[in-house]
Structure formats: C-alpha cells, structure tokens
Chain A
Amino acid sequence: MTAISVAGLVKTFGATRALDGLDLEVSTGEVHGFLGPNGSGKSTTIRVLLGLLRPDAGQVRLLDGDPWRDAVALHRRLAYVPGDVTLWPNISGGESIDLLGRLQGGLDPRRRAELLDRFDLDPRKKARTYSKGNRQKVALVAALASDAELLVLDEPTSGLDPLMEAVFQGCIREVRAEGRTVLLSSHILAEAEALCDRVSIIRHGRTVQSGSLDELRHLTRTAITAETVRPAAGLESLAGVHDLRHEDGRVRFDVDTDALDGALRHLTGLGVVSLTSAPPTLEELFLRHYGDELADDGTAAREPVRS
C-alpha cells in the first residue's frame, strides 16, 4: 500500500526549475525521511502534495487521491506542519491549535492537553510573543493532536531544543506504532537515522537515492588503513576502491561495501601487519550527496535502490 506516490514531478517558478522529474514513494505505515540540501525542492514537493501548488508535469497520488482536485477531502485525513511556522500575531497559541485542529476535522482534547504538557508549551501566549521553538511547538501540537492517518512534516524540529527533540521522536514512534504514515523532511541526520524506516534524498529537484537505511548504509564506503609485508600494489585495479593513497609504508583507501571482501582478500595475500577500518556512516553518504563533488565522482549515475 502506498500513501504517497510521485513520479516525474516537475514544477517551475518562472526560470527556476524547482522540481525536475522528482520521484517519491511512501508506503502506508512507514516513517519516510525526505532529505536534501537547502533549496533542493523539499518544501515545494510538500506543497504540491498538499495541493497548494499545481504541478507542471508528472503523476502525483496522495492517499489514493489527486492532491490538487481532491484537496479538501484529502486534507481531512492528513495533518501538516509547515517549514516556517507563521501564526496570527494576536491569537494565542492555544486558540491557533484549536482553530487548526477544528478546521482539519476535530482534535482530541485529551491528547491536546497531554501534548501541551509534554512539549511544555504555554497556550495562553499570543503568537507574536512566542520564541521560534515555541511557535514550532504550536504547529506540532496541532498536528499531533489530530488523528490524521498521514502526517506531513516539513523540518518540524527546526528550533527545538534537544529535550524537545527527544519528546518529538517519542511522539513520532507512537504515531508509527498506531500504523500511521509520516513524511518527514529534515536536515537532522541523527533524527532521520533514529526515526525513519526509509529515506529519499533529493538534489536539484531530483531524487538521487532512496531506500531503507540499511540499504543506504550498504552504499556507503568503509575507510581502510593497512600495513602490509609486501608493497601494496594492484589495489588500484580493483573495482570499488577509491581514493587510494600510500603514506609512510601504509596504504589508505575507501572501499564500497560490496567490494570489501575482494579488497580484504587482496590485502591478506600481501601479508597484513596491521589493519584499521572505519565503519560506514550515513553522514558520509549524505555529505557525499549534498556536496558538489557528486557530479564528478560518478555516484549520481547510480540507480536508486528500491525495496
């Protein structure tokens, strides 16, 4: 079952091509991380999914409906936290939560009270007197207090302190346990790693990678430093070995996870004296996808992994 399915989505603003053939699959019941550098098109995609922007090309399905045509019906079943929460300056946080909840189709007063407590939010303050993090909490409480089957969260934790980040992660785990679906755009890798079943990484309005975290980990490289009895030759001809350097008798290189076995065999054939390996980190993968060297080191050509 898919909650969100986007294929070949294009959205232009004048000369800017904000989305350039974006693909996105989110299955029902999963927490899906939506990652990408600034300006890569995450918020734009989300606005298309909400029927706020009209796509120029491509297929977009949301909860088995057309987000543009069936906007109102679909919105009854989802809750949204915008990336920039701007509230009405003269309306208190509590009133904003009630208003947005009622417009969405009703919110559970018990859950509302519990969330206010957990997020430590004073609902009586006027929006203009809230700090950035507290404005964010208003939108979060409104979304989490609903019983929407899909939560669309655009950088929901920007501005939250670490304690509140932990509360947020707890809430999302509960949401997932209830079988609801979450689309979570984020820049916080630890958050994505902690919460997401699968992630999609986009860049320049295009999906460059998508899959489960294990699959992505598989795509990262292990850093190897080794000292061998015989001079370490021949490594450069192995597939999957990158950035090979020889430094005072040692050899250092990065190796793709699926080429690790071959590289180690080659090393043992040379007589290993010492060996250290640094485990693959997602951070490294993200940085590789976010950074500019992407285009010239060939990773961009790699097919997206699908589960």
Chain B
Amino acid sequence: MSTQLSEAPARPTAPDRPGRSSTTTGTAALFRFALRRDRVRLTVWIAAGTAMVALQSVSSQSFYDSPGALAAYRASVGSNAATIALAGPPVGLDTVAGAVAFEISATVMLIAALMAMFTVTRHTRADEEAGRTELLRSARVGRHAPLLAAVLLAALACAALAVAVGLGATATGLPATGSFVLGASFGAAGQVFTGITAVAVQVTGHTRSVYGLVGGLFAVFFVLRAVGDIEGNWVVWTSPIGWAQAAHPFSDDAVLPLLLCLVVAVVLVLGGFALLDRRDLGAGLTQPRPGRASATPWLRSPLGLAVRLQRGALLAWVLGLALLGVVYGALADSVETLIAGNEEALAVFGDPDVDDLVSAYLSTTFSITALLAAAYAVSSVLRARTEESDQRAEPVLATATSRSAWLGSHVAVALVGSALAMTASGVTTGVVRVLQTGEAAAFGRMVGAALAYVPAVWVVAGIAVALFGLLPRLAAALSWAAVGLFLVITMFAESFDWPGWVGDLSPVSWVPLMPLEPWTTGPVLVLTALAGALLAASFAGFRRRDLATG
C-alpha cells in the first residue's frame, strides 16, 4: 500500500493530505448539500415571513389612512392587555409603520424561530437519529462539521429573512431604515434560536424532544416578554424575544439589543460545540436507562400504546396551558392600570366599564389558549401519521387490532388531551381570578369559558384526522396550514375589519366570547356535529386505503 503510494506520481493538489484534517473538515461540502436539500423549504419560510410583513403593511396603510383612525387604534391597543400580550411593546404607534411592526413582529419572530429550529435539527439530530450522520462521519467529515454546517445554514437563512423583510417592507412604502431594523430584529431572534437549538440537539437524543425543548423555551420566553410588556418593567429583558422587539423599529431603531441577540447566539453555538465533544455519536448527554423487562398490565391495547407514546407531550401541554392560565389570570388586574394610565384611551372610550374590559381581555386570552390547545391536538393526531410512515403501525395492524381501534386510540388521546388542556387553563385562570376578586362565582365562569372552546378545538383536530384518513401524504402540511390560518384569523380579522365570512372560516370564532358574551348552544352543537362528521369521514377513508409502506 505504502509502496504504491510512493510510486504514484505526485499530485499537484493536496486536498487529501491527512495533515489537513481537522474537526471541521467537510463543512463546506455538507453546507452545500444541506442548502440543496433545504432550498425549497427555506424559500417558503422566508417568503412566508416577508409576505406577512408586506400584507400587513399594505392593509395597515389603507386601514389607518387618517390620523384619527391611527389615534383610535393607539387608544384601543395601548389599553388592551390581551393585544400587548400577543404582539409586543406598544411603542411607535404614532406612525402607521410602527403599527405594522407592532402587529406583525410576534408572528414573524415565531416563523424565524421555527425556521431556525427545524433547519438546525434536520441536519444534526434528525440525521444522527436516522443513522445518516454515521455514514457521513465515516467519510472525511470532521466531528464538528455537521453542526457547523447546520448552524451556518440556519444563520444564512435568518440573514436572508432579515434582508427580504427589509426589502419587502421598503417596497410597500415603509421607511427604509426602520424596514431593515424590523427585518434585522426577526433575523436576530432567529439567530438566538439557532443557538438554542444547537445546544438542544446535544442535550437530548430524540428529534421529537428537541422540538419540545425549543418550542417550550419559545413559549416561556414569549410569556416572559408578554408579562414585561404589559407591566412595562424589566421582565422583558429576561427574554431574547424581548431583546429583539426592543429594537423598536420605525421609532427608536435601536441596534444594540440586536447585537445582544447575536452575542448570545454565538455563545450558545460555542456551548453546543462544547457539549458535542462530551457525548457519543447518536446519544444525548445522558445514557438511556434500562426499561422494564415486561410490560405493565395496562399496556395491552392500542389505547394503552397511544397513551404510553403520547403521555410526555400530553403532560407538557396540560402543564403549559395551566401555567399560561395563571399568567393570563394574573395579568387581568393590569387591564385596569393600563386603561387608567392611558389618556388617549380614556378620551376615546370615555369612562369605560372596567369589568367589561377585563371580561373582553379574558375572552381574548381564552381564544388564544384554544388555538394552542388546537395546535396540541393537531400534533397529537399527526403522531398517528408518524407511526404509520415510520412503519411502526404495521406490526400493530398485523395483530388483531382493527384500523379503527388503532386510529381511534390516537384520536382519543388528542381529543381528551386537548379538552384536559383547556380545562386546566380554565381552572388556573379561575383560581387566580377568585383570589384577585374574592368572588367565588368567577371560578365557574372561567372554567365554562374555557370549556366552551372544546368543540372548536375538536373541529381543528377533526380536520387533521380527516386529512390523515383521506390525504395522508398532505396531512401534516395541510393541518398545520389550517392551524396557521385560524391563528391569523383570530389575531387579525377583527382589527382589520375583514368581511364576516373570513372570520367564520375559523371554528374558534364561532364560539361565544365568554365571559364577555353569554353562552349560546347553537354554534357549539354545530361544531360538535362537524367534528363528528370529520372523524367519520376519516375513519371511512382510513379503512379503505393502503397503509403507507415507506
């Protein structure tokens, strides 16, 4: 072998010299490959973020076409804790451009965070879990190369989103500087989540847990900044989303908080590399503990299996929505403070009924909770699809388990789980309200308001179930698109005066806005029937179709 080498004519290029190898060897090739794999995905993410900003800009400019309209908007927003909780700090609202930034920034930051999370995970933990990294690493690919390539790709995507939003916003007539600061704030938020994901993929051995971890952190940071924005205090600064929004595009155009984001992102990525050196390929930071030698008695039915597979996620969502209920309930007191401190609002609304304002605030928060519960229900239903496409449904369906029983088990977890999550949020909000007001009846009102959304949540779940049965390949994409659509409708339909039928597209908006509005039976019955019909269609479809075979 060595003699052959010495006899071989010397080659002018030296890329194969072993001395050149380092832990990042192969990064360039992996980066190009990852870019190729993701070019469509990333284009969609970036286009979606940019399109949302552009649409918001165009519609806001036509909607707040007079100083009076803008002042009324400022008054209502500045005094509405629910809007602030969802959107961000109510600053810069004296220009239409500032209103655009206020309305859209939370949504696009979520898009940036998800894009970063999926991009980094796809090329690190997901590849590792599927055994592809092992194959790559056996070639001339250094230990750090896959993570570095993934982080670089995510960073590039975030930067591209920043530029695209800057260009898009400028093109729709917003001031150029502010437009690019707005874009940069999304990019910066994305970079932080690139860093967070770079750490998360080292910590846990499962792709699914990475999503849970990063998604959970996003939720925590989002709530922290909501608390800080409503109370107008330092709590904002405990959240990277708060830093990104502190750029205040179109008013302060502050770049310093964005630099903070970038510094933290770099530190997190370095932390990710340090953790990478401390773990084995394919493993997380901890070794999995041995399991049971034989199954517990209740793991004997498809339902037992579905519960076993989904119990972690179910618990996390129920706890998460319960905590959100506490936060929303606790912030109800600030509604009063906000309106009292807002002269413009007092001028517009006169002397408003504070009880009504609190009720309006609480009904908005419950509709947001309902959308989150619907997102949980969809993810739970789609678990059935993952089981099917990962070939884990096959051995179960080859036993004496009928297709209906198998699908029904996953659907049952989704329906009961989302109802539990709604109940939990109603209960915690209720308890907090009783403590605040000393009025025991508040508890029942809060629980009732939360439960009223359950049929609507089930309709969203039913859409995912129907897609699973009838259009399995598109189930994931279309169900999440539906959740996104309903979210946009709930957040914007009212503030933009969209025609009524647009609002009616979302099952969530059929539900009476309790506690502000009284209970009505009609829509709730219709929703329940609709959910039932969707399930029936799905089960009929699933019984007739082929099982996915890879």
Binding site for B on A (CB under 8 A): 43-44, 47, 50-54, 71-73, 75-76, 78, 80, 82, 84-92, 94-95, 98-100, 102-105, 123-126, 128-129, 139, 152
Contact = CB atoms under 8 A, between A and B. Distances in A.
Contact of A75 (B399, B545, B549): B399
Given A47-B549, A103-B400, A92 B392 contact: no
Contacts of A95: 291-292, 294-295, 299
Contact of A128 (B288, B290, B546): B288
Given A87-B392, A99-B304, 19 more contacts: A44-B549, A47-B547, A50-B398, A52-B546, A71-B402, A75-B401, A80-B399, A82-B391, A82-B394, A82-B398, A84-B391, A92-B293, A94-B293, A95-B291, A99-B295, A100-B396, A103-B399, A123-B293, A124-B293
Q: Is the interface of B mostly helix, strand, loop or mixed?
A: loop
Nearest to A86: B391
B310 to A, nearest CB: 11
B495 interface: no
Interface of B: 205-206, 288, 290-295, 299-302, 304-305, 308-309, 390-392, 394-403, 544-547, 549-550
Nearest to A44: B549
Contact of B288 (A76, A103, A126): A126
Contacts, number: 111
B398 A53 contact: no
Contacts of A82: 391, 394-395, 398
A126 B395 contact: no
Chain A CB within 10 A, most for which of B309, B398, B402: B398
A253 B302 CA distance: 61
Contacts of A94: 291-295
A9 B196 CA distance: 53
A82 B304 CA distance: 22
Contacts of B308: 91
A125 B290 contact: yes
B471 to A, nearest CB: 16
A240 to B, nearest CB: 42
Nearest to A102: B300
Nearest to A77: B400
A104 B290 contact: no
14 contacts: A50-B397, A52-B549, A53-B547, A54-B544, A54-B545, A71-B403, A82-B398, A88-B392, A94-B291, A94-B295, A102-B300, A103-B396, A129-B288, A139-B395
Contact of B294 (A43, A98, A103): A98
Contact of B549 (A51, A53, A103): A53
Contacts of B293: 92, 94, 123-124
B234 to A, nearest CB: 40
Nearest to B546: A53
Contact of B301 (A78, A98, A103, A123): A103
Contacts of B205: 128
Contacts of B309: 88
Nearest to A73: B400
Contact of B400 (A43, A44, A72, A125): A72
B290 to A, nearest CB: 4
Chain A CB within 10 A, most for which of B206, B291, B309, B390: B291
Given A95-B291, A124-B292, A105 B400 contact: yes
A9 to B, nearest CB: 14
B130 to A, nearest CB: 11
A124 B549 contact: no
A73 B400 CA distance: 7
Give the 10 A-B CB pairs with smallest separation, nearest first. Answer: A92-B291, A98-B295, A103-B399, A80-B398, A95-B295, A104-B399, A124-B290, A102-B300, A76-B400, A52-B547
Contacts of A104: 399-400
Nearest to B288: A126
Nearest to B544: A54
A102 B297 CA distance: 10
B292 A99 contact: no
Nearest to A72: B402
Contacts of B291: 90-92, 94-95, 124-126
A80 B395 contact: yes
Contacts of B395: 80, 82, 85, 100, 139
Contacts of A73: 400
Contacts of A100: 395-396, 399
A69 to B, nearest CB: 10
A103 B391 contact: no
Nearest to A71: B402
Nearest to A129: B288
Contacts of A90: 206, 291
Contacts of A98: 294-295, 299-300
A92 B547 contact: no
A103 B403 CA distance: 13
Contacts of A129: 288
B292 A92 contact: yes
Chain B CB within 10 A, most for which of A44, A54, A103: A103
A24 to B, nearest CB: 18
Nearest to A87: B392
A89 B294 contact: no
A103 B300 contact: yes
Contacts of B399: 75, 80, 100, 103-105
A60 B295 CA distance: 36
Contacts of B550: 84
Contacts of A88: 309, 392
A142 B193 CA distance: 43
A47 B395 CA distance: 11
Nearest to A103: B399
Contacts of B305: 99
A103 to B, nearest CB: 4
B394 to A, nearest CB: 6
Nearest to A84: B391
Contacts of B288: 126, 128-129
A105 B294 CA distance: 16
A158 to B, nearest CB: 15
Contacts of A87: 392
A229 to B, nearest CB: 52
B385 to A, nearest CB: 15
Contacts of A71: 397, 402-403
A152 B292 CA distance: 28
A126 B206 CA distance: 13
A123 B293 CA distance: 5
B408 to A, nearest CB: 13
A99 B399 CA distance: 10
A103 B405 CA distance: 11
A193 B549 CA distance: 29
A63 to B, nearest CB: 13
Chain B CB within 10 A, most for which of A52, A76, A78, A87: A52
B134 to A, nearest CB: 13
Contacts of B299: 95, 98-99, 102
A90 B206 CA distance: 10
Contacts of A43: 549
